[in-house]
Amino acid sequence: MVHEKSLYEASSQYRHWRFSPAQLKTTREKLNAGAIQVISAAFETENPGSSSTVQFVTQQEELSLVKLYASKLPQLCFSSFKLPEHVCATAVTYLKRFYLRNSVMDWHPKNVMLTSLFMAAKTNNTPISIDYFLSIIPKTVQSDILELEFPIAQSLDFEFAIWHPHRALWGIYLDVQVLEDVPMDLDRIYSEAVKLIRDSWLTDAEFIYTPSQIALAALHAVSPPLALQWMRSKGGSEQLQAILLQIQKIIKEEGTVPDVEEVRDIDRRLRTCRNPAKVAGSAIYQQKKAEEERIADEKRKLKAAAAKKAFEEADPFGADLRRESSNGSTPPGK
Amino acid sequence: MDTSVKANEEREKKWAKIAKVGEGTYAVVYKAKEITTGRQVAIKKIKIGQFKDGLDMSAIREVTYLRELHHPNVIELLDVFSHKTNLNLVLEFLDADLELLIKDRSNVFLPADIKSWMAMTLRGLEFCHRNWILHRDLKPNNLLIASDGQLKLADFGLARDFSDPGARMTCQIITRWYRPAELLFGCRYYSSAVDIWSVGCIFAELMLRTPYLPGESDMDQVKTIFRAIGTPTEEEWPGHTKLPDYFAAGQFPRQPFRDLFTAASADALNLLAKFFIYDPRKRISAKEALNHPYFFALPYPTHPSKLPKSANQLAPRPLPLEELDGNTNGALSAKAAEPNKLKRKSAEAPDGPDRRVVSRRLDFTAV
């Protein structure tokens, strides 16, 4: 038999959403630089000479901002909406993946965070109606959410299925119970490992490591002997141990909520350097909308003219239906 | 900048729509081609602007699962792109379905043909189940046939994953005639066995050339099942009388399968009986079914390319048009009686107060 790939290896997550730390850094730097370039140009169009005074946010600052909004998701999910762990984890992943394709200067993370949650609920079979969603979220209107669905879906390449470490941890939790000397405080170990996994949501761990590696790293951080015993029972390698330590380091160094004051300052600065083409009401935004409308209008006119022509040329009742369906050709009426 | 917008535009440019082949309230289906290769595809355009809650659940499910599933017996989602407020799914072009073949009286099905279709159905389903995905709407109409004879599972608009044991799920799934007794009794915690029951119904239908358990209502469906397979005993199916919507539908003796399926081999009957085991825990799995002696006994399955084809493939339903549920096209008039009005609920939501019911129907009256 041919070696069958593991299910995880066939997933879109494994195929398209794994990166090295260097790749992540380059991607974000490029996004940041690209956004600055476009926005500077837009400022110049609107008001020549104005871009030189703007203090753009840096790639690091973008990341802090996204992280802060990601850190708001658990409370929203668990307390406000009573949604399960995987919906929250999915929303966090959507938010983070979105900013591997976009800059906060183009899309402010607040609504992206909310829409990620709204969509994660749907993709995990626990949809929330928009009215109910908005009744819980203050100062947000329908269009804030619904208009972002497509940009987010596009940025995710319509790949909605996410594999999460907490599921892998649950598997290990069940597994270790058949080992000898199961610790008495297994449930405490488990719930602390869950907390570490939630900390990992704020890091790049999920882009670099597999969900099972992150789960094991969390368990290993709480109870090294238990993790090692489980690894021995599965034939785990030395190499794996090194990986666990790397993951633990990332969680420890990056898995904390950024300082709110600092982020507030970034957010304040962001208001002055947002892409005017994305801010409703700005001259450039109006211009873009008008252009889009003009093109759409032209297309509509063309279509109507073509339809009129077709109508005038052909029998308005179309070809004979019976003949069409019995000779196996496609139905008429195009 | 907007890399994702650009990527989306580039994806869109890869495909050229040729002709509209169906239009309904929620979706339009086009025959299209890949520009670089000329390969025929189907583009299903879902008009999202009409949904109050944004992207609708059927579209989300279909995209979520088909994005992950790549198997010769599962319809391939080649691409997805959005255009203004429309979501476009680029799907493999498939020109017939098993229902068409079954209804085409000019076709004679050999036992080897049925075995081939069953093997392909089970391979596709085993792959879904291995990936922890329930199809939840298996029926001949959703088993599409490619031009090379390969059968493919399609319409994942009701699918969901079941990797969370103990997750409460809706029982309003699977078209009635293919729905197992546990769902009719309101069971909210179920598993891959629900799809297997549907496979049993399809197997029977392939042999009989007519639906095996055509109940007229949900209540009547239970009776129809009991009349055919016998009322289950407590021993056969422990605890079934405690299910939420259980009702006593009457005592019926088991009809031996042999009496109805007169031409079937002993192996075929044995497998059929295993698909129709009442207790979902004892029902055969897709993997076990593929290892059943039926598939190893003579006659061997027909090669897909040698399977019967439908003469009117392109006529009433030229595309893998999942929305055809409940369509009233004259050419498929027999189908109009089928209880296809399965509602696509965005249910299973513990929170949303107003759950939306979306039934996607394509209307072919314009054609």
pLDDT digits (tens, 9 = 90+) for A81-95: 999 999 999 999 999
Distances (CA, A) of B361 to B295, B318, B327, B358: 37, 16, 7, 9
In a domain, B87, yes or no: no
| Residues of B with active-site annotation | 137
Q: What are phi and psi of B362, to 5 degrees?
A: -105, 135
B44 is in an annotated binding site: yes
More confident residue, B312 or B117: B117
- pLDDT attached to residue A246: 96
Cβ pair A145:B54 closer than 8 A: yes
Report how far residue B65's alpha carbon sits from residue A128's, in angstroms, rounded to the nearest whole number. Answer: 20
Beta carbons within 10 angstroms of residue B296's beta carbon: 9
Phi-psi map region of A66: left, alpha, beta (phi>0 left; psi -120 to 50 alpha): alpha
Which of B17, B40, B53 is most worth mutating to test chain A (most A CB atoms within 10 A of its CB)? B53
pLDDT for A222 equals 97
pLDDT at B15 > cutoff 70: yes
pLDDT digits (tens, 9 = 90+) for A113-155: 999 999 999 999 999 999 999 999 989 999 899 999 999 999 9
pLDDT value of residue A322: 53
**B229: in domain:** yes
- Give the residue with greater pLDDT, A334 vs B176: B176
Contact B4 A35 (CB under 8 A): no
Residues A93, B316 contacting (CB under 8 angstroms) = no
Q: What is the mean pLDDT of residues A287-314?
A: 76
DSSP assignment, residue B242?
A: G
Is B61 within a domain? no
Q: Which of A81-85, A286-290, B70-74, B233-237 has the lowest mean pLDDT?
A: A286-290
Q: Is residue B62 part of a domain?
A: no
pLDDT for B349 beyond 50: no
pLDDT band at A324 (very low <50, low <70, confident <90, very high): very low
Q: How many domains does chain B have?
A: 1
Check whether B355 has a pLDDT greater than 60: no
Q: How far is B338 from chain A (nearest CA, A)?
A: 22
Q: What is the pLDDT of residue B137?
A: 94
By DSSP bridging, strand B27-34 and strand B344-345 are: unpaired
The verdict on whether residue B365 carries a ligand-binding annotation is no
Of the listed ranges A203-212, A274-283, B60-69, the least confidently predicted one is A274-283
Residues of A in contact with B11 (CB under 8 A): none
Q: Which of B285, B64, B25 is nearest to B158 (CA)?
A: B64
Which of left, alpha, beta for B267 (phi over 0: left; psi -120 to 50: alpha)?
Answer: alpha
Contacts of B349 in chain A (CB under 8 A): 121, 126-129
**pLDDT confidence tier of residue B348, bands split at 50, 70 and 90:** very low
Q: Do B366 and A333 touch (CB under 8 A)?
A: yes
Specify if B101 maps to a domain. yes
Residue A327 pLDDT: 45
Across B262-285, average pLDDT? 96
Tokens of A125: 């079979």
Q: Is the pLDDT at A267 greater than 60, yes or no?
A: yes
- The verdict on whether residue B24 carries a ligand-binding annotation is yes
CB contact under 8 A, A10 and B1: no
Question: How many whole angstroms separate alpha carbon A113 and alpha carbon B6?
Answer: 22
- Chain A residue numbers touching B64 (CB-CB < 8 A): 123, 160-161
Does B299 sit behind a cis peptide bond, omega within 30 degrees of 0 on the bond before it? yes
pLDDT exceeds cutoff 60 at B36:
yes
Q: Which of A219-223, A261-265, B23-27 has the highest mean pLDDT?
A: A219-223
Domain-located, residue B100:
yes
Is residue B126 within 8 A of residue B286, CB to CB? The reply is yes
Q: Nearest to residue A68, comparing CAs of A36, A96, A107?
A: A96
HSE-CB at B64 with a 13 A cutoff on CA atoms is: 29
| Per-chain mean pLDDT for chain B | 84
Which candidate in A29, A39, A158, A293 is best for mutational testing of the B interface (most B CBs within 10 A)?
A158
Residue A56, pLDDT above cutoff 70: yes
Nearest to B286 by CA among B190, B197, B176: B197
The CA distance from A219 to the nearest CA of chain B, in Å, is 21
Residue B351 has pLDDT above 90, yes or no: no
Per-residue pLDDT, A318: 54
Q: Hey, are the CB atoms on A325 and B160 less than 8 Å from each other?
A: no
B219, part of any domain: yes
Highest mean pLDDT among B82-86, B237-241, B341-345: B237-241
Residue A283: band (very low, low, confident or very high) from pLDDT cuts 50, 70, 90: low
Q: Complex ipTM, two decimals?
A: 0.82
Mean pLDDT of B138-145: 95
pLDDT, one tens digit per residue, over B317-344 is 433 333 333 333 333 333 333 444 444 4
Please report which confidence band the pLDDT of residue A294 belongs to, taking 50, 70 and 90 as the band edges: confident
Return the pLDDT at B27: 82
| SS3 state at A7 | helix
B164 contact residues in A (CB cutoff 8 A): 84, 86
pLDDT of residue A314: 66
Mean pLDDT of chain A: 87
Residue A236, pLDDT > 80, answer no
CB contact under 8 A, A129 and B353: yes
Q: Is B367 annotated as a binding residue?
A: no
Predicted confidence at residue A52, as pLDDT, reads 77
Cα–Cα distance between B53 and B60 in angstroms, integer? 12
Residue of chain A minimizing CA distance to B21: A331
The pLDDT confidence band at residue A317, using thresholds 50, 70 and 90, is low
Q: Which pLDDT value is given to residue B328?
A: 31
Cβ atoms of B70 and B122 within 8 Å: the answer is no
Nearest CB among B1, B163, B346 relative to A38 is that of: B1
Domains of chain A: 10-162+262-276 (1.10.472.10), 165-254 (1.10.472.10)
B13 assigned ligand-binding residue = no
pLDDT at B336: 33
Range B334-363 average pLDDT: 38
Q: What number is the average pLDDT over the span B22-34? A: 83
With vertex at residue B151, the alpha carbon angle to CA B150 and CA B154, rounded to the nearest 5 degrees, is 135
Of A132, A145, A334, the CB nearest to B20: A334
Using an 8 Å Cβ cutoff, are B161 and B195 in contact?
no
Q: How far apart are CA B234 and CA B179, in angstroms?
A: 20
Q: Which domain holds residue B246?
A: 96-306
CATH number at residue B298: 1.10.510.10
The residue written with tokens 């160094």 in the block is A253
pLDDT at B149: 94
Is the CB of B65 less than 8 angstroms away from the CB of A161?
Answer: yes
Residue B346 clears pLDDT 60, i.e. is over it: no
Alpha-carbon distance of A194 to A206, in angstroms, equals 15
Please enumerate in sequence order all residues whose Cβ is within 8 A of that of B346, keeping only pairs 6 or more positions apart, or say none.
A122, A127, B53, B56, B57, B352, B355, B356, B357, B358
**Portion of chain A with pLDDT greater than 90, in percent:** 65
Residues of B in contact with A107 (CB under 8 A): none
Please write down the long-range contacts of B29-35, taking CB distance under 8 Å and 24 or more positions apart: B29/B319, B29/B321, B29/B323, B29/B362, B31/A330, B31/B93, B31/B318, B31/B319, B32/B90, B34/B78
Better pLDDT: B139 or B1:
B139
Residue B258 lies in a domain: yes
d(CA B305, CA B150): 8
Average pLDDT over residues B3-29: 83
Q: In the predicted model, what is the mean pLDDT of residues A157-175?
A: 95
CA–CA gap between residue A282 and residue A276 (Å, rounded): 6
